Amino acid sequence: MSIVWTPDLSVGLTHIDDQHKVWFEKANGLFEAGKERRAKDYIDTMLNFLDEYTKKHFKDEEAYMEKIRYPEIESQKRAHASFINDLAKLKSDYNESGGNILVILNANEMVINWLTNHIKVMDKKIGEYAKTL
């Protein structure tokens, strides 16, 4: 299952949408690498990138929400922390399995569902709120 950013996922804020696009592109690269049975080193690099990029994106998004005094920032922070934990678990499970690609492939749907639902349900509200300012 591909993880591709589509226009219906736009929150209407270019800086957030652009980061989401990069996230989708890199996550898709990770899952494609798993399907292609790429080397463990490559997958490790992709996982590390996603981990760091996710933290950077969430930090940027939260800073923006603070700047505009977004009223639902605390629920966003909780959701972000939960996803960071899920990614850490994925990374840990992958390493503990000795680099079993099935760990990555099985996480594909979890990541797609979380990310698309989070954007559609929570992040879009940031864009809607920003338009009222």
Architecture of domain 10-131: Up-down Bundle (1.20)
Instruction: Report the alpha-carbon distance of residue 60 to residue 15 in Å, rounded.
Output: 9
Confidence at residue 33, expressed as pLDDT on a 0 to 100 scale: 82
Sequence spans of domains, the chain: 10-131
As a whole number of angstroms, the distance between CA 25 and CA 27 comes to 6
Q: How far apart are the first and last CA of the chain?
A: 38
User: What SS3 class is residue 11?
Assistant: coil
Backbone φ/ψ region at 128: left (φ over 0), alpha (ψ -120 to 50), beta = alpha
The reported pLDDT for the residue numbered 1 is 59
Convert 43-71 into a string of H (helix), E (strand) and C (coil).
Answer: HHHHHHHHHHHHHHHHHHHHHHHHHCCCC
Residue-by-residue pLDDT tens, the chain, 133 positions: 577 888 999 999 999 999 999 988 888 888 888 788 887 888 888 888 888 999 999 999 999 999 999 999 999 999 999 999 998 998 899 889 988 888 887 788 778 888 889 999 999 999 999 999 9
Distance separating alpha carbons of residues 31 and 38, to the nearest angstrom: 10
- Cα separation of 4 and 22, whole Å? 10
Helices (H), the chain: 14-35, 40-67, 73-96, 101-118, 124-131
* Predicted pLDDT at 31: 82
